[in-house]
Amino acid sequence: MPGPRLYDELVDWYFLVDPTEDHADEAESYRAALHGGPPPATVATRPKLLDLGAGAGNNAFHLKAHFDCTLTDLSEPMLALSRDLNPECEHILGDMRSLKLGRTFDAVLVHDAVMYMTTESDLLAAIQTAFDHTRRGGVAVFAPDCFRETFDESFDAFGADDFRGGDAGERSARCLEWKWDPSPDDTTYVVDYAFMLRENGVVRTVHDRHVEGLFAQSTWLRLFARVGFEASLVPRALGEGESDSVFLCRRG
């Protein structure tokens, strides 16, 4: 099945759909959680952070002041966006289920890209990758959009105009995001996006379906224990006073 169109043929529109500035609050939550771990082995250097599924680098943009960041993703077009946004960071093409860099980091971030783990074996593989790249005494944050317990069918509408230069009003995007679960007994749900993309006065519409994983917190905790992580829930700020919970894991 082809991957999401947003991370491939629609990548030029990505920052209109997901602006970098919207990630400041959550990135601060990740910074606080990841810095809560023991100090890095070499205190003279900044802590090293590996981001699995960094996408266009929106969280890394806010974290790179605090960490030396290595950013990985499955999509080369998304990594290309991040290289422009975060030229000082290392970028590596790779699948979080199989990546093997042969080195460890003080901190590992697995953000919303983990939603594309749609089976328990894929989720276990991603958790194992994070564990293998976390140094002893280091920490990892897993920040899925939702858990089985917190999932709600919902829709949202958003959009932006003319992000990053160009003539005023030249490019605009409007987006409807509709989350629903066609089969509540399995480990997936779907997010259907309807994008209306206006360029030079011409509007086209594109449907993009993302199949995402849905797991109970007890499943996450069982998989963390299986690889050797000690996990707990910590708060994540979502902006406008809202918050939810993400997992902070320690490698002993």
Ligand X SMILES: C[S@@+](CC[C@H](N)C(=O)[O-])C[C@H]1O[C@@H](n2cnc3c(N)ncnc32)[C@H](O)[C@@H]1O
The residues of the shown chain that bind ligand X, judged by CB under 6 A, are 7, 53-56, 58-59, 73-75, 78, 95-97, 111-113, 116
Q: How far apart are CA 239 and CA 42, in angstroms?
A: 34
Identify which of residues 137 and 178 has a Cβ nearer to ligand X in the complex. 178
Q: Please say which residue, 112 or 162, places its beta carbon nearer to ligand X.
A: 112
Q: Give the shortest CB-99-to-ligand X separation in angstroms.
A: 8
- At its nearest, how many Å lie between ligand X and the CB of residue 94? 7
- What is the DSSP annotation of 67-107? SEEEEEES-HHHHHHHHHH-TTSEEEE--TTT---S--EEE
CA distances from 225 to 133, 141, 206, 222, 246 (A): 16, 15, 41, 5, 16
Of 3 and 39, the one with the shorter C-beta distance to ligand X is: 3
Residue 225 CB coordination number (10 Å): 11
Quote the least distance from Cβ 250 to ligand X, whole Å. Answer: 22
Q: Which is nearer to ligand X, 102 or 252 (CB)?
A: 102
CB 12 → ligand X: shortest distance, Å? 14
Cβ–Cβ < 8 Å for 191, 210: yes
Cα–Cα distance, 126 to 133 (Å, whole number): 11
Residues 6+ apart with CB under 8 A from 11: 75, 77, 78, 80, 81
Rounded Cα distance, 189 and 213, in Å? 6
Q: Which is nearer to ligand X, 4 or 137 (CB)?
A: 4
Please state the closest distance from residue 74 (CB atom) to ligand X, in A. Answer: 4
State the residue number with the nearest CB to ligand X.
55
We find the least distance from the C-beta atom of residue 178 to ligand X, in angstroms, to be: 16
Please name the amino acid found at residue 235: P
Nearer to ligand X, 110 or 139 (CB): 110
Encoded tokens for 22: 């919207």
